[in-house]
Amino acid sequence: MKGILGVSGTFAPAAVAPRPQKDMRALVRELIETVILALMIFLALQISIQNFRVEGPSMQPTLEEGQYLIANKLVYLRFNPSSLRSLLPFVDDGDDEDVFAFHPPRKGEIIIFRFPRDPSRDFVKRVIAVPGDKLEVKDNVLYVNGEMLENAPVRTSQKRNIPPEVLPGSYFVMGDNRRSSLDSRDWGSVPSELLIGRGWVIY
C-alpha cells in the first residue's frame, strides 16, 4: 500500500481526494433524465386526455352545470390510409377516408366536439345516429331507422315533413335535456373531423 510519511515518522495511509466533478456530472444527468421523463408523461397526457367544464343545462341530469368531464381523446384517434402508403407499401389503395384506430363514436356515447358553426367552441352531446342511419321527420317528430325518438321534436315555426335520408359521414347528436338543448335538430350533424373525444370521467 502506498502512503505518506507523517510528522511523527509513522507510516500513514494516503487520503483519498474527492471527485466533485464526477458527482456533479451524475447529478446533471439524473436531472436531465427526470425532465425528459416528465415531458414524455406530460405529452402523453395531452395527447390522450383533456378535461372540460360543463356549461349550461343541455345535458342534465347526466351532466350538471359546473361539473368537470375528462375526455378520452385516443378512442376516436383517426388517420388517413394514404399517409401510410409511403411507409407501408402493402397498404391497400382503397378510398382516402379517415380510419379510426380503435372505433368511431357509437350510439349512446357522450362525445365532445368542436361546434360546427364555430370551431373555437367545444360542445358535449350524446350520439343519437351514426353514418348510415336513416333519418326522417314526420310532423316535426324525428325518426331514426323508422323508430320515433321520444321527447325530441324538431323545433320549427311550421310543422314539416322531411323524407327519409341516409346520414352521411357525420353524427347526429342531442342533449339529454332535450327541451333545453341546442343540438343537431338546430344546426345539423357533426362531421368526424370535429370530434375531440368520448366522455370518460365526471368529477
Residues 138/131, Cβ–Cβ less than 8 Å: no
What is the CB-side half-sphere exposure of residue 135 using CA atoms within 13 A? 22
How far is 31 from 15, CA to CA, in rounded Å?
31
Q: List the one residue out of 154, 118, 149, 120 whose CA is nearest residue 139.
A: 154
Catalytic residues: 58, 125
Residues with Cβ within 8 Å of 114's Cβ and at least 6 positions away in sequence, in order, are: 120, 121, 122, 123, 194, 196
Q: Is the preceding peptide bond at 61 cis, omega within 30 degrees of 0? A: yes
C-alpha cell at 60: 342534465
Q: How far is CA 170 from the centre of its chain?
A: 17
Q: List the one residue out of 131, 121, 133 whose CA is nearest residue 100.
A: 131
